[in-house]
Amino acid sequence: MSRKKQLLVIVLSVLAITSSVSHFAARALHFRLAPVSPLSFGETNLPVRAIAAGSSLTFYGINWTELSRAWGFRVQGWAVPAGSVVEMEMLQREVTSAQFTFLGVGVSDLNDNYVSDYRADIVPFSKGIRELREAQVDWTFARKVLAQYPLKYLRAIYPTAGRSMHVMVGVREVFRNLRGRKAAEPNDQAVLTSESNTHGENIGSWPEARILRNIALTRDSAGGTFSFHGPKRDALFRFLEHGKAQGKMVVLVFPESPFYEKEFVTEKVRADFEALLAEAQQRTPEALWVRLDRVPEFKSADYYWDLVHLNAPGQAQATQIVRKKLAAAGIL
C-alpha cells in the first residue's frame, strides 16, 4: 500500500473514531440535537387558531393547555433552545390559520448578544446576511452569527463541536447523579415539552454557591452583555406586523428573578429595553401588551425555578393574569 493510501486510511480512521466519540458523548449527555420541536396545546380534534411564540420564558410562564381548554381551540408553538423572535419569525409563517398570535419577550431573550445555538438551522444564510447588514452590527457580532453556518454542517459529523459549555454542564450532571445529588439539586436546564410547568422548587431556597454558579454561566454565555439594537429588534417589528395582519396580536412581557435583575439589569439596560418596547408599541398600536414584568408579586424569588423562568406557582398566577387581561380587552 502506498504512503498516500496509508495516510488516507489513517485520516478516515481518526475521523470515524472521533466522530463516534462525539456522537456517543452527545447521546450520553442528552444533547438536544433537533433545532425545532413542535409544541401543541389542547385536544387534537380542536382546530389550531392561535400561535404561542417565544423562548422558554413563554412556555414556562403560561399554561397554554389551560388556556386552550378555556378557549376551545388548539395553540401551536415551537421549542427552540435559546430561541428568540429571530427564529420565531421564520416559524410563524408555518401556521396560516392563526387568528390570535401570542409573543412572549423578556430582557434576556431580546438581548442580541444571547444567540441561539440553532439559529443557522432555522434562518437561511442569505436572510441572515441581509438582517446583519440591515441592523448595521459590528464585525465581532456578525462573525459570531455567521460562524454558525459552517458549524452547522460540521456538527453532522461532530455534534459536540462548539458546545464545550454544554459538555461541561452535562458532565457535571452525570457526576452529580452518581453522587446522589439529583433530588437535592434539580437540573438547571430548561427542556420544553407540551406539558405544563412542573417545577415546584424556587430559587429563594438556593444556597449562595448555586446562585453564583448560575450567574457565572449566564455571563459566560454572553447573557450578561446587552444590546437591543440588532437583528432581534427588526425581527420583533416584522413579527408584530405579520401577527397583526393575521388577526389579533398579543405581547406578553415576562419578568426576571430579583437575582438576575440585580446582577445584570442596570439602569441603562432597563432604559434600552423599555425604549425598544415603546418603539414596538408605537409601530403596532393594535397589539395588546400584557406587562407581567410589572406585577409586584413577581419581584419575589419564590416564583422562579431558575434565574429567568417562572416556576409552577408563578405560571399559575401569570396564566390567571393573562386570562383576566384578555377578557377585559374583549379578545377571548
Q: Are strands 288-291 and 100-105 parallel, antiparallel or unpaired?
A: unpaired
Q: In whole numbers, what is the pLDDT of the chain averaged over residues?
A: 89
Q: What's the pLDDT band for 52 if we cut at 50, 70, 90?
A: very high
CB 176 within 8 A of CB 182: yes
Does the pTM of the predicted model rise above 0.85?
Answer: yes
Q: Residue range 26-32: average pLDDT?
A: 76
**pLDDT > 90? residue 168:** no
Q: Is residue 183's pLDDT more than 50? A: no
Q: How far from 178 is each of 164, 235, 237, CA to CA, in Å? A: 21, 44, 47
Band of residue 166 on the pLDDT scale cut at 50, 70, 90:
low
pLDDT at 190 over 60: no
Q: What is the pLDDT of residues 60-87, one digit of tens each?
A: 999 999 999 999 999 999 999 889 999 9
- HSE-CB of 260 using CA atoms within 13 angstroms: 28
Q: Give the pLDDT band (50/70/90) at residue 27.
A: confident
Q: Which three cell numbers stand for residue 208?
A: 449562595
Question: For the purposes of burial, counting CB atoms within 10 Å of the CB of 98, is it exposed (0-12), middle (13-18) or buried (19 or more)?
Answer: buried
Predicted pLDDT of residue 22: 85
Exposed (0-12), middle (13-18) or buried (19+): which is 237, by Cβ within 10 Å? middle
**pLDDT confidence of 34, banded at 50, 70, 90?**
confident
Give yes or no for a contact between 85 and 105, defined as CB atoms under 8 angstroms apart: yes
Show Cβ contacts of residue 255 under 8 Å, excluding neighbours closer than 6 positions.
Answer: 106, 292, 293, 294, 295, 298, 299, 310
Q: What is the pLDDT of residues 145-162, one digit of tens each?
A: 999 999 998 888 888 887
